[in-house]
Amino acid sequence: MSWRDGISNLKYDELIQGFHLNFALKHSKTVAEYRQRVGNTVLSKQAKLFHIEYNHPVASGSVTFIKYKGYYFAVTNEHCVRKKDVENYTVYVPSKKTDERLDNQRIEVKLNFLHADNDIDLAVFQVDSDALKDTKRSFIDLFPTSFANIKEETQIILIGVPGERLEYLYPKGEDDEDDYTQGIETIMYNHITYFTTHEGVEENVHQISFDPQQTAFGEGTEETKAFVQSAKGMSGSPAFIHSYLTLNINQVRFLGITSNADPQYGRAYVIDLCEVIEFLDNVIENV
């Protein structure tokens, strides 16, 4: 007899809707498996953005991979790309060649800077249509009619690499690349998957609950606990909506681009996808 057989469906739904998941996740294999599957799906839509400085990659936010009107983009925040030499931004993503984390070969995604808008805090690079072909990453299919329907039971997924997970080692010398290579691989797999709640929306900016304690991290890892002291590094990553009422991974939808967050004040902000669509429309028309 399972734990759920001992309580009513109503009680179980109250646990999920109220986001009292410590108990639910501990005892419900269904919810835990759902969260892991969802996490692996949404993680594939983003990557870490780096700026090359003195031949070393320096983390500079995240990007969201989007296919729109036949174009292929890496979208991020404007505040992530304020270096004058915009041609020196790049993205590294895991290759499909192996499942072994430390032995995984990385693939560099070539970026062509197109435009940035300070008012809405968005920036965009164009990438080749086959840029992610041999990688463990994929594009979000975005359409002019795409929208996110926020309901009472809607939950939010934020992803990215928080500031404290950005540490990596530079090479010890010109001929010693081991530390540097391993560090980049670690960052590629140091993303968190943060399940949380929607608080409201104003002028196409969603307010999201962001408690310092997050609930899952990594690709293919089990549920765990950690503390996020800084959301720096998560900027530019995609946010998604989902619902525990159905536990249906096919109902996970793109919400928009994470702009900023402050765990200490318990709040994150997401730019709605309608702003992203309008921004990309202007880029396609004018650039």
Residue 18 is predicted with a pLDDT of 53
Distance CA 59, CA 50 (A): 4
Distance CA 140, CA 117 (A): 21
Q: What average pLDDT does the segment 23-37 reach?
A: 67
| Region of poorest pLDDT, from 23-37, 68-82, 197-211 | 23-37
Q: Where in the chain is the domain with CATH 2.40.10?
A: 46-143
Residue 106 is predicted with a pLDDT of 82
Instruction: Return the structure tokens found at 229.
Output: 């002291």
Q: What is the pLDDT of residues 56-74, one digit of tens each?
A: 888 888 999 999 999 999 9
Q: Which fold has domain 46-143?
A: Thrombin, subunit H (2.40.10)
Q: Where would I find the H helices in the chain?
A: 9-17, 21-27, 29-43, 178-188, 273-286
Q: Which of 6-15, 165-174, 201-210, 217-226 has the highest mean pLDDT?
A: 201-210
Instruction: Choose among 19, 6, 15: nearest CA to 197.
Output: 19
Residue 61 is predicted with a pLDDT of 87
* DSSP single-letter state for residue 135: B
pTM score of the predicted model? 0.81
Per-residue pLDDT for 216 more than 60? no
Instruction: Return the structure tokens found at 193.
Output: 């998957």
Residue 171 is predicted with a pLDDT of 43
172 — pLDDT class (breaks 50, 70, 90) = very low
Per-residue pLDDT for 173 more than 50? no
180 — pLDDT class (breaks 50, 70, 90) = very low
Q: What average pLDDT does the segment 159-166 reach?
A: 66
- Residue 219 sits at φ, ψ, to 5 deg, of -100, 125
| Region of poorest pLDDT, from 77-86, 211-220, 231-240 | 211-220
Distance CA 7, CA 30 (A): 16
Per-residue pLDDT for 93 more than 70? yes
253 touches 240 (CB < 8 A): yes
Residue 281 is predicted with a pLDDT of 98
Q: What is the pLDDT of residues 110-139, one digit of tens each?
A: 999 999 999 999 999 999 999 999 898 999
> Which one is predicted more confidently, 168 or 148?
148
